[in-house]
Amino acid sequence: MSALRWGRGASGLRRVLWRAGRPGLLAEEGARSGVWGRRRSLSASPCEQDRQKDWGHAELLEVLEARVRQLQAECVSEVTVKRVGQARLPEAAGFQPRRKAQKGGEGTGRWAQKLDQDRWTLQGRKQRLEVKPQVRAQQPACEHRLRRVPQLLSAPLAERLLRWEQGTPRSPWEEQLERLLQEAPRKLSCEAEQAHQSRGASVRLETQQQRLLAFLECCLLSGHLPLAHHVLVTCHGRWRQRRTLTLAMYNTVMLGWAREGSFKELVYVFFMVKDAGLTPDLLSYAAALQCMGRLDQGARTVQRCLDQMAQDGLQLPEIFTSVPLCPEEQAALLQAVRKAQPAFSPPPRPQPEPQVNTSPLLREIYAQEDPVSYPKLHLPLHKLKALFQQQLRVEMATTVSVESVEKPELLTTEVLQARNTLTRLRAVWVEALCAGLQEMKASEARAARAGRPTLFPYLCLLTEEELAQLLLQTLQVLPPQGESLLSLAQQLGLRVFNRHAVQKQQLRHVQALQQRYYQYLHLLASDTQVAVPCLPRQYWETLGAPEAPHEQPWPLPVLVQLGKQLAEMLVEVVRMPGSLAAPQGSCTLIPVLYHVYSFRSFRQIGILKPHPAFTQLLATAAEHTLTFEAAEVPMLCPPVPWTSPYTGAFLLSPTKLMRSLEGTTQHQRLLDSCPPAELHGALDALTQLGNCAWRVNGRVLDLVLELFTAKGCPRLGVPAPPSEAPRPPEGRLPPGASPAQKAELRRELARCLKVAREMHSLRSDALYRLSLAQHLRHRVFWLPHNMDFRGRTYPCPPHFNHLGSDLARALLEFAQGRPLGPDGLDWLKIHLVNLTGLKKHEPLRARLLFANEVMEDILDSADRPMTGRKWWMEVDEPWQALACCMEIARAVRAPDPAAYVSHFPVHQDGSCNGLQHYAALGRDSIGAASVNLLPSDVPQDVYSGVAAQVEVFRKQDARRGVRVAQVLEGFISRKVVKQTVMTVVYGVTRYGGRLQIERRLRELSTFPQEFVWEASHYLVRQVFNSLQEMFSGTRAIQHWLTESARLIAHAGSAVEWVTPLGIPIIQPYHRDSKVLISGGIQTLTFSNSGDTSQKPNTLKQKNGFPPNFIHSLDSSHMMLTALHCHRRGLTFVSVHDCFWTHAADVEVMNQVCREQFVRLHSQPILHDLSRFLMNRFCSGASLRSPVHSKSMLIDKLQDTLKSVPKTGAFDLEQVKNSTYFFS
């Protein structure tokens, strides 16, 4: 598979769907068999509707016959209607000729003739309908014979193939291949070439190509090579579809036949390659030679092939070094080559030369001469090997069953009965789903045999039982309010792909992975040493050749279509008794899932909603297990180091280095084109973050579970159960209720529904987190990381990590402890005060004194959290504060606090980090002082400073008689302006800022609400004016970035840049292109806005550039800090601009953090950005605008990019002495 997918280069996956009608286009809604195969619906299909319509006509015919008999009885006229027997059709499928009605009266004769004619016509249709199922049943399973011989467009090639096929005796196939290889590629006509080139630039064409290639590859994986050949031959024989075929598709099928040793079929594909005007490449020759080796062909035949290969400019050694083939394929290929060249020895696969990152920021990280003290894990080698085996078993099983913390107090008869009912129903559902899936496969196979790429090979990658279990797991976790069909379809498609990818990895790489991983553990284990200390990535790369990359996901339309059909299978097949209390078999079956429509944000969307009876059954059963995908759970062993954009994190489960929306490909393309050494900084930082070992804080977990299993405590972040949701008003409105009363009732119902949905979502999220925490309570685990398109890092497991709320963070602590040392206890106390939010404006010494003053409350909170004075409940971050109280209590009660081994993570937060980066970029002294870049005795609060400046403006306006300024007297506070100030740096507009301030004003009970709208308009204007006054350099840089992005987007390109650590960035904001998937219970339409072939969204590009650029800088700062902390032996993790380490190491981390910030901003960041954008976007080839406007756009863009904002006089070195830069 790797030879197929990567032999053609990483072209990426475009996510646009085929449209309807002809082969290669999406089937019309309602089509029974199209590109996507059988239409699934609860309503009758068109054929069924036609049949019902004809039977209805037959019933009408019987009524008319009765009327004729009535007329005869009344002697109006003598009419004889000949009876048409319902005999079977003759084998020739012809009808007996109708006989004319006997003549009677003139008027009734016409009636009789018309009646006879209609009756004959309808009877014929009825007989055809009766015979059609019988004929279909008698047909063999293969409705269309699979084609092997291609239909060629080139007359000479077609004549040669025909002459060879009919000739006697036939020339050997190897001679035929020799002639084909010598034939020059047939040139397409000029018109065809132009058409091909114009279509090649379209999203539609590339999507068709990717979908067809994925179909062919899946056919090979699922053992349906003849079907892949048949579809390729069919497409090649149709001119419109031939233009979508690429050499990679022909090579895919050729390689399949080579593995089978089928030389004849391989030659057929070579005929098509030459007929398409293509030139064979290395992979084509590798397939031919491999097939010759398997068939033990003679030396003369092999030598001719090698000679032709040389004439085509291809070198034989390159096949062994450049074409990714498995060892068995290479052995067959080598056997063929040695027939002609016995002395040939394949060159060793070139080991990639050790590339060194040249970034000046990373020079110290990769310096060999400087001493290092890389940290080791606290676990011995044998323990880590056992943990690897546990994780391997988890990933090979693809799912993890976790005991739920939400259990019934007593296993009553009702609970046991509900569980037994679910067990019986699931057994029935699995059987029904397996039967339905078999039928679906048969239908898709018939469509594929007609020459169309369908879902058939994708459905064959997993067994029916595996697919059925996957569907039932999906049904289990559907919320009561349902889920959109589109979202559900995409999830199902991705899960099928992920399970297939894991199975593929099991078959090929598990043994080699185990051997390599065991060697890698010598670097990490506490009881082993390596010869030369190095980074995990570097050591992993020395242990063997680069791994084959994980398989890339299928095109998004394929994922959605596959998931859609599986979801519709759930709707159609899964049923339950309408009344579970009724005797079995005595009541009708009802669908467990219903398809309904609902309005979400003024858009009508289709939702799959579970039946209330099923929801109630699940609630009553209160099952004790939850099922998660393996990649959704923290790892039980250290993650695999990131070594490339494709390999890292989980052992088998595919993981993206750069997370993005499904359907976007430009990020992967940039990473593919980036020199490997340029990514080393990011790869090593992500590996270091993932190598931090964690454990669960058991005492905090017990307290949270106590509240969770009771009624919850929303004030402390523990969601309440659904039983606590507000109830809608009971009773009905009186008959004469006014429209206003009815509207009020509707609003109240909508409010109750909204609150219930939110409560269910929060409860489910907490249930997953707490169940996983309980599952991992006595284990060590790891959180592998990846990054978003800006370089910001995130843990891969979504439900249980340190990026969550206060409650989620309090549940985690470092698995590896460090003695507190002389200052560790003081840092614990300062950290506790920071968590309370009570002394934000006080110096560190005052915070430490405050902690000592409230030591009684701290110890009381630690000893009696639920029964004592509950001091911890009144602070900003209650659960983290409680966990810190417990840690302090254990430390102060230890015989030697300095020797106490602490596992507690201490945080250091940036002070409005976005403004810190802006102030450093512009060397803005005033702004730097406001965000603590300058040393000071007390922390500066930029939010209070902005509020004070706004108050100055308000007083001036009040004196001038401005009414709203007078109303706002006494109401301008830090809290009112904080959110707007915080988000201005990240691109919030005045409109968004006004909404933020409006919400804060509405929270003030004493503020006159009739002035909220006017006051919010006034305040947002003054906040922006204050920021302009205080951060003039910041606003200038922001404007320059915005204007540059606007011009680039207007020229037709998405904004790109490279971070100081070398990560390529592109903004994924493009104009939406609608993708339509019709048929089934609903036509799905979704937007695809993430590909470079689409026009950029100018508004999003320009508004997103400033905040995204700053995010890329803060991620660079974090990664530099992480790498240098690792070099010094520290444990380090982060939540964006919040850095965590042990209490004993806070001072070292603070020093590293400041040093790396200064080093980062000592680089000419804005000038480097200007040069990059000039080179990238100021050439005519890079612009997509009309020709007549190119020079104008280039001139304006060049002028803008050259006018880099001037910087101030702020000295960056002062940051190193700023206590409150991060605190």
Burial class (CB in 10 A: 0-12, 13-18, 19+), 158: middle
Count of other CB atoms within 10 angstroms of residue 877: 22
Instruction: From residue 1150, give the alpha-carbon distance in Å to each of 299, 359, 844, 1143, 1144.
Output: 70, 23, 14, 12, 12
The catalytic position among 909, 955, 1095, 1190 is 909
Q: Is 1137 an annotated catalytic residue?
A: yes
CA distances (Å), origin 409, targets 16, 705, 710, 713, 915: 51, 14, 11, 19, 52
CB 639 within 8 A of CB 690: yes
Q: Give alpha helix (H) positions in 795-941.
A: 806-810, 824-836, 844-853, 855-863, 878-892, 913-922, 925-930
Rounded Cα gap, residues 321 and 648, in angstroms = 24
d(CA 1184, CA 258): 43
Q: For residue 813, what are the contacts with CB-CB under 8 A and spacing of at least 6? A: 694, 695, 696, 697, 883, 903, 904, 905
Q: 715: which 2 tokens?
A: 């004030």
φ, ψ (nearest 5 deg) of residue 975: -65, -35
- Check the CA dihedral 884-887-888-889 and report its sign: positive
Whole-number Cα distances in Å, 47 to 51, 144, 1081: 6, 21, 16
Which one of the listed residues 829, 978, 1100, 1102 is annotated catalytic? 978
Residues 515, 545: Cα–Cα separation, whole Å: 13
Q: Which two tokens stand for residue 534?
A: 């190095």
Catalytic residue among 116, 275, 684, 1137: 1137
Report how far residue 1059's alpha carbon sits from residue 5's, in angstroms, rounded to the nearest whole number: 30
CA-CA-CA-CA torsion sign (473, 479, 481, 482): negative
The answer to whether 866 and 1178 are in contact (CB under 8 A) is no
In angstroms, the CA 1123 to CA 365 distance is: 7
Type and span of the H or E element at 1120? helix 1098-1127
Check if the beta carbon of residue 803 is closer than 8 Å to that of residue 795. yes
Handedness of CA 830, 831, 836, 840 (dihedral sign): positive
- Compute the distance between CA of residue 66 and CA of residue 770 in angstroms, rounded to an integer: 74
- DSSP assigned state of 154: S
Give catalytic status of residue 823 as yes or no: no
Is residue 909 part of the annotated active site? The answer reads: yes
Q: Which residues on neighbouring strands pair with residue 713, listed in sequence order?
A: 718
C-alpha angle 786-791-795 in degrees, rounded to nearest 5:
25
The Cα–Cα gap between 813 and 324 comes to: 44
What's the half-sphere exposure (Cβ side, CA atoms, 13 Å) at 742?
6
1056 has which bridge partners?
Answer: 1066
DSSP lists the bridge partners of residue 795 as 785
Residues forming the active site = 909, 978, 1137
